[in-house]
Amino acid sequence: MSEDVKVKVRGLTKKFGDLLVLDNISFDVKKGDFVCIVGPTGCGKTTFLNLLVKLLEPTEGQILIDNEPADPKKHNMAFVFQEPSAYQWLTVEENIQYGLKIKKYPKDVIEERTKEIMETLGLEAVRKSYPHELSASLEQRVVIGRAFALHPDLLLMDEPYAQMDIKVRYYLEDQVIKLWQKTGSTVLFITHNIEEAVYLSEKCLILSNKPTTIKEEKKIELPRPRNIASSEFIELREYVTSQIKWW
Amino acid sequence: MNSADTKKWYYMLPIISIAILLGGWMLVAQGEGSMIPTPYATLMRFLDICVHPISKAVLPVHMWMSLKRVLIAFVFAIVLGIGLGVGLGWSTSFHAFADPVFEILRPIPPIAWIPLVILWCGIGELPKVVIVFIGSFVPIVLNTYSGIKEIDSLLINAGLVLGANRRQLLTEITLPATTPAILAGIRTALSSGWMCVVAAEMIAAKQGVGFLIVRGQESGDTALIVACMLVIGVVSLLLSTILSKLEGVLCPWQFSKTK
Ligand SMILES: Nc1ncnc2c1ncn2[C@@H]1O[C@H](COP(=O)(O)OP(=O)(O)OP(=O)(O)O)[C@@H](O)[C@H]1O
Ligand SMILES: [Mg+2]
């Protein structure tokens, strides 16, 4: 197997009781790739990420990260869940530092990363606040900060920007690209928003309806920074949209 | 109404309700041979027992005796109750082992233990403390346990993915997330503990507010009974205020600074 595969999925099948959700899926994600996963509602996108980090066990098949089963204690990965998952009893700052503390980073690294995240995500004004004092979109930014602070090799994001208004979303889309370019991490990014998928990704993984298979792996070979108004962009966006509709 | 008036109104309302209570009380206490003492008689009796001892102790000493029993029992109930609750909620095998016994004993009203506990422990301090312990232990266990059971699995998952080990999941995620539920259990336990101490003292004690109430009943001294009841009410209020302050210290995240 070649060295530069980050995530290897083979014959992955997941059933919940009688409900067949993922049906014998196989694919590779290259190291340093930015993959967006798109597909109809309820097709199993969240289930796939949960399998990937071992929160769920597959019915059949396997998922390997760096050629071994995923282990959050060993692999430097971060997960932004679909639902808000900030720790209510920690301040914004402590939330952002929590992953670094678990991974026992030295103090100066923690300080430096905190500063960086506070700046890039615009959280300085609320650093001492508790999550419940923030709007839902700001709270989600805290969770994103907690993930970004780790500079993860593998960044998993499950519709992270779904509840943000368009301005914040555009800004955060550029921030995740910056982080990806700076740290060379591998990103798996789930979204319902096709424009977002085409704007962000190197490759779009288009999933079918349940029982879910990969309908197409579409390479997005547009230069960056991308222009969402350009005709190539719009053409790609419409193509991906149509692929989701005509399953 | 403008906001200043509204504020005044909110200060007035409790005064009005207390005035109505006092007025109603005076009304029913009217008349010859009423079994209800007047507020004035109650106040006088209260002042009297503050200086003249009954059963070798003045009222503050009786109060302190009761309070001491509650507090000693409470320390044990909190430590052991949280311990058992965490065990039940956290470890599946411990739950399978201990839950049936707990479920059988739990519905027994703590007061039903009094005769047995007196037979076992005699009439010293121990039986009262044991009964208060039984009464306050159960709500703490139940709240801790259900708090842990009902924790949002997302919080645990987020910790798992960050690489937290089992100890960190317990002490850094589960326990902080459960603290409000545990404090609610302690609050319930406090009122249950008071109930138990008064009940236990009414049955077998030479000191304590429960003892004073029974003494009042035996001598037809209704003013003494009512004075003691009111003192119990005020002390409970004080304790629950202290508990609220403690909640603010232990769970600052529940009380916003900005809102
Ligand atoms: N723990 C579970 N038990 C039973 N069924 C489940 C469970 N988790 C998910 N499912 C089912 O599996 C299917 C896929 O769910 P999943 O949440 O992965 O979809 P999704 O693609 O993330 O959807 P969305 O776009 O709404 O986020 C759904 O039909 C869902 O009802
Ligand atoms: Mg989902």
Q: Which of A70, A24, A13 is nearest to A47 (CA)?
A: A13
Q: Which of A174, A155, A154, A156 is nearest to A164 (CA)?
A: A174
Q: Specify the pLDDT at position B187.
A: 93
Q: Specify the pLDDT at position B4.
A: 83
Q: How far is the CA of A91 from the centre of ligand 2 (A)?
A: 27
Proximal ligand: closest to the CA of A50 = 1
Q: Specify the pLDDT at position B259.
A: 44
pLDDT at residue B159 tops 90: yes
Let me know if residue B35 belongs to a domain: no
How is residue A130 written in tokens?
């508790």
> Residues B169-197: pLDDT tens digits?
999 999 999 999 999 999 999 999 999 99
pLDDT band of B1, cuts 50, 70, 90: low
CB atoms within 10 A of CB B46: 17
Determine the Cα–Cα distance for residues B206 and B128; give it in Å rounded to an integer: 12
Let me know if residue B255 belongs to a domain: no
> Residues A187-208: pLDDT tens digits?
999 999 999 999 999 999 999 8
Domain that holds residue B226: 42-250
Q: Which of B69, B161, B167, B54 is nearest to A65 (CA)?
A: B161
Let me know if residue B149 belongs to a domain: yes
DSSP B169: I
Q: Are residues A127 and A182 in contact, defined by beta-carbon separation less than 8 angstroms?
A: no
Q: What is the mean pLDDT of residues B58-63?
A: 94
Determine the Cα–Cα distance for residues B156 and A31; give it in Å rounded to an integer: 28
Q: How many CB pairs under 8 A join A and B?
A: 65
Let me know if residue B11 belongs to a domain: no
Bridge partner residues of A154 (DSSP): A77, A186
- Is residue A99 less than 8 Å (CB to CB) from chain B? yes
Long-range interactions of A106-114: CB distance < 8 A, separation 24+? A113/A149, A113/A151, A114/A149
Q: For atom 8 of ligand 1, which residue has the closest CA?
A: A47
Q: Specify the pLDDT at position B122.
A: 84
pLDDT at residue B2 tops 80: no
Which residues does B210 contact at the CB level (< 8 Å), separation at least 6?
B66, B197, B198, B199, B200, B201, B202
Q: For atom 1 of ligand 1, which residue has the closest CA?
A: A16
Three-state DSSP at A51 gives helix
Q: Specify the pLDDT at position A246.
A: 56
Let me know if residue B112 belongs to a domain: yes
Determine the Cα–Cα distance for residues B170 and B148; give it in Å rounded to an integer: 10
Indicate which CATH number applies to the domain containing B93: 1.10.3720.10
Handedness of CA A35, A38, A41, A47 (dihedral sign): negative
Determine the Cα–Cα distance for residues B110 and B108; give it in Å rounded to an integer: 6
pLDDT at residue B255 tops 80: no
- Starting at the edge strand that comes first in sequence, how are the strands of the sheet with A19-30 ordered? A19-30, A5-16, A60-65
Total count of residues recorded for chain A: 247
Q: For atom 10 of ligand 1, which residue has the closest CA?
A: A16
Q: Are residues A82 and A50 in contact, defined by beta-carbon separation less than 8 angstroms?
A: no
**pLDDT, tens digit only, all 247 positions of chain A:** 456 899 999 999 999 999 999 999 999 999 999 999 999 988 999 999 999 998 999 999 999 999 888 888 888 999 999 998 999 999 999 999 999 999 999 999 999 999 999 998 989 999 999 999 998 889 999 999 999 999 999 999 999 998 889 999 999 999 999 999 999 999 999 999 999 999 999 999 999 888 888 988 989 998 988 988 899 999 999 999 998 875 4
Q: Specify the pLDDT at position B257.
A: 53
Which residues does A245 contact at the CB level (< 8 Å), separation at least 6?
none
Residue of B nearest to A133 (CA): B256
What proportion of chain B, given as a percentage, has pLDDT over 70? 98
Determine the Cα–Cα distance for residues B143 and B228; give it in Å rounded to an integer: 31
What proportion of chain A, given as a percentage, has pLDDT over 70? 98
Ranges B22-26, B28-32, B41-45: which has the least confidence: B28-32
Q: What is the mean pLDDT of residues B199-225?
A: 92
Q: What is the mean pLDDT of residues B74-88?
A: 95
Which helix (H) or strand (E) segment holds residue B182: the answer is: helix B175-203
DSSP A210: S
Helices (H), chain B: 3-29, 39-51, 59-90, 92-105, 114-121, 125-149, 153-162, 166-168, 175-203, 209-218, 222-250
How is residue B82 written in tokens?
């949280």
Let me know if residue B18 belongs to a domain: no
Residue ranges with CB less than 5 Å from ion ligand 2: A 46, 82
**Number of domains forming the structure of chain B:** 1
pTM of the model: 0.85
pLDDT at residue B105 tops 80: yes
Q: Specify the pLDDT at position B258.
A: 47
DSSP B174: I
Determine the Cα–Cα distance for residues B239 and B28; give it in Å rounded to an integer: 30
Distance (Å) of CA A12 to CA A9, A191, B2: 6, 21, 65
Q: Specify the pLDDT at position A9.
A: 93
Ranges A1-5, B75-79, B230-234: which has the least confidence: A1-5
Let me know if residue B27 belongs to a domain: no
Which atom of ligand 1 sits closest to the CA of residue A44?
Answer: 18
φ/ψ (deg, to 5) at A65: -115, 125
Residue-range domains of chain A with CATH:
5-85+154-244 (3.40.50.300)
Three-state DSSP at B20 gives helix
Q: Specify the pLDDT at position B252.
A: 87
Q: Is A32 left (phi over 0), alpha (psi -120 to 50) or beta?
A: left
Determine the Cα–Cα distance for residues B209 and B201; give it in Å rounded to an integer: 7
Three-state DSSP at B233 gives helix
Residues of B in contact with A132 (CB under 8 A): 253-254, 256
pLDDT at residue B144 tops 90: yes
Average pLDDT over chain B, rounded to whole? 91
Let me know if residue B99 belongs to a domain: yes
Q: What is the mean pLDDT of residues B135-157?
A: 94
Asked if the interface predicted TM-score (ipTM) of this complex is over 0.85, the answer is yes
CB pair distance less than 8 Å for A55 and B164: no
Residue-wise burial string across A100-113, b where 16 or more C-beta atoms lie within 10 A, e elsewhere: bebbebeeeebeeb
Longest dimension (CA), chain A: 52
DSSP B171: I
Q: Which of A128, A119, A179 is nearest to A150 (CA)?
A: A179
How is residue B120 written in tokens?
């076992």
End-to-end CA distance of chain A: 32
